[in-house]
Structure 1
């Protein structure tokens, strides 16, 4: 993914890179499709059929890529920049800000994709098949709509899309965080009781909205990277993607620990709500107010000469 993103981006002008990277990133839909393919293969042919199936799929993809793709003549490795020069860009604090954004939009997406089936079973007493189907309402659109998020980032800018994505996620997570609650109020006519809970339909609708927000946020974050670090996209997208992947790995572990501590089913959404707060504050201070809380905006470290994919010459 870290290699593919800059490879795809270099073939498109800056004003179309968001959409291009969004289409490339829409391949994460495979994680959702796997929820249907793998169980069916295991049930019909045993667990060994799963790696065999994906080995064949990878081989076919490699052959198609080899014969149909264009050579990446503008690769940084051909420009003479050393590894240390490429890695010097990591000193720019903007890289770590984008890592924080991606840890919630991609890390949260990955974590919830894995967490939601058992959540539906536990909270709404659904069967495994029903839970997997409803969980796909979150994961499938999030992958497909990543291309839409890239188009929006091209048209309205990475900051504007990310800003509204974070607010949409904040609202969705606030509502999803609210646990089943009973209120007892002592009135002049005696005690009054109120019950609040999210039933299955509104919960699934909010989860879908959260998935759409995360999809657009994934695309807009990489649009940020493409705009700010056009000559170092390989390194920066690799680091940002790494942090997002770590978030997807660590968040379910934290969800389990928090659930055991609080014994509240919706505690996973509470935790993500807090992370989104951090993202909103960072975005407001550095982009809306433009305060130097993370240092001054810097030029890209060790810039390499841009080369056009068609001719191999500098523009």
Structure 2
């Protein structure tokens, strides 16, 4: 009886891993565009004469729309499906990339701020992929599915590593034109080869009531808070780490070196994310989230001590990134089994938005709390320790989602 009932589902979901991998590729390109400004922040600061506050605002601006836009994009994915929404987000992000290029050529900070604001559209791509990937897998393996899709965050590492090198080798404008061309090509591939899960059903509920329905669920607020710490911390460090390293260790780390280290930070989180999803499927997302938050608190404390540049600094940043990655996988594995099927996209959008907002404020806080006399961001890092400790307590009080449910 069991074999007979499960056989149709296996047939329907054939090719599921390939579909999730293609969605991951689309997310990688979207993240590359979303994080386009941060790797070149030193160039903008020098050529435009920016102060600490302006640099922090410049780095935070793309995160704002990338966060808030996820609420809308997540709900729209429930209605139109991943294929259409992936294509739309990729194509809609091309003009902002070109606008960033124009702002750099004109050396206009106001135009760069506008460009960074609309560039946030690229960051909404994450809210498309979680419901898309979840629909391709049975409930007991959705932590794995969303974990694999979450590896699209590697786009952050791609941007940190390749953007400054491309700008140095082929030029500033050609770099942005190349990225725009890659986005168009990826959108075409997605439109031609991506397909929504056969078990996915479009939701006809209007957008606003759908979002409001998601906001009424306790799980939405609980997971939003936790995700604001784990993913918000990742986004904040991915955008601010080049600035942090070149400021705290000016004689040891240049722009290229900072980009390389930021890429390593992102890769560590990317590798850890699916591991967090798989572990959550097996042991429950609560324990994974608790381990993640404990790690973030411990490693943020060490970073706050501002150790000398060297192996210890590198290891601590990579370990903190891995802790964040585990938490990202754990939190989204918590969302799926705890959310009504027709609200997964909307809840995902809200939770993803909270994660993005969690990454919006820290760069501003770091800029505001920077002490030029001691050349230290210690106060901002202490705030991360305190917030992470509070999140650890909150997570401990929540009810776990049963593995395999």
Contact 2:268/2:322, CA 8 A, preserved across alignment: yes
**Larger relative contact order (Cα-Cα within 8 Å, sequence gap ≥ 6):** 1
TM-score by length of 2: 0.62
After the TM superposition, which residues 245-264 of structure 1 pair with which residues of structure 2 at under 5 Å, given as runs? Answer: 245-260=356-371, 264=376
**Where does residue 390 of structure 2 map in the other structure?**
278
**Where does residue 159 of structure 1 map in the other structure?**
286
Q: CA deviation at 1:74?
A: 4.5
TM-score by length of 1: 0.79
**2:328 maps to which of 207, 210, 218:** 218
The structure with the larger Rg is: 1
After the TM superposition, which residues 27-38 of structure 1 pair with which residues of structure 2 at under 5 Å, given as runs? Answer: 27-38=152-163
Deviations 1:198-221 (A, max 9, x none): 552112111111000101111111
**Residues 200 and 268 (structure 1), Cα distance of their counterparts in 2 relative to 1, 3 Å cut:** farther
Contact 2:366/2:377, CA 8 A, preserved across alignment: no
**Where does residue 194 of structure 1 map in the other structure?**
none
**Where does residue 265 of structure 1 map in the other structure?**
377
**Where does residue 311 of structure 1 map in the other structure?**
none
**Where does residue 131 of structure 1 map in the other structure?**
258
Q: CA deviation at 1:226?
A: 0.7
CA distance in 2, matches of 1:72, 1:105: 29
Q: RMSD over aligned Cα, in angstroms?
A: 2.3
Q: Determine which structure has the larger strand proportion and give its number.
A: 1
| 1:101 pairs with 2:213 | no
**1:150 maps to which of 277, 281, 298:** 277
CA distance in 1, matches of 2:160, 2:358: 20
**Where does residue 241 of structure 1 map in the other structure?**
352
After the TM superposition, which residues 148-227 of structure 1 pair with which residues of structure 2 at under 5 Å, given as runs? Answer: 148-179=275-306, 197-227=307-337
Contact 1:117/1:132, CA 8 A, preserved across alignment: yes
Q: CA deviation at 1:261?
A: 9.0
CA distance in 2, matches of 1:238, 1:105: 16
**1:41 maps to which of 166, 169, 174:** 166
| 1:63 pairs with 2:188 | yes
**Where does residue 293 of structure 1 map in the other structure?**
none
CA distance in 2, matches of 1:224, 1:131: 34
Unaligned runs of 5+ in 1: 180-196, 289-296, 298-315
CA distance in 1, matches of 2:392, 2:178: 42
Deviations 1:122-142 (A, max 9, x none): 323322222222232212221
Which stretch of the first structure deviates more once superposed, 12-21 or 255-264? 255-264
**Residues 224 and 72 (structure 1), Cα distance of their counterparts in 2 relative to 1, 3 Å cut:** same
Q: Determine which structure has the larger helix proportion and give its number.
A: 2
**3-state SS of 1:71 partner:** coil
Q: CA deviation at 1:50?
A: 3.1
Which stretch of the first structure deviates more once superposed, 117-126 or 9-18? 117-126
CA distance in 1, matches of 2:229, 2:175: 29
Number of residue pairs the alignment of both structures matches: 271
CA distance in 2, matches of 1:287, 1:175: 30
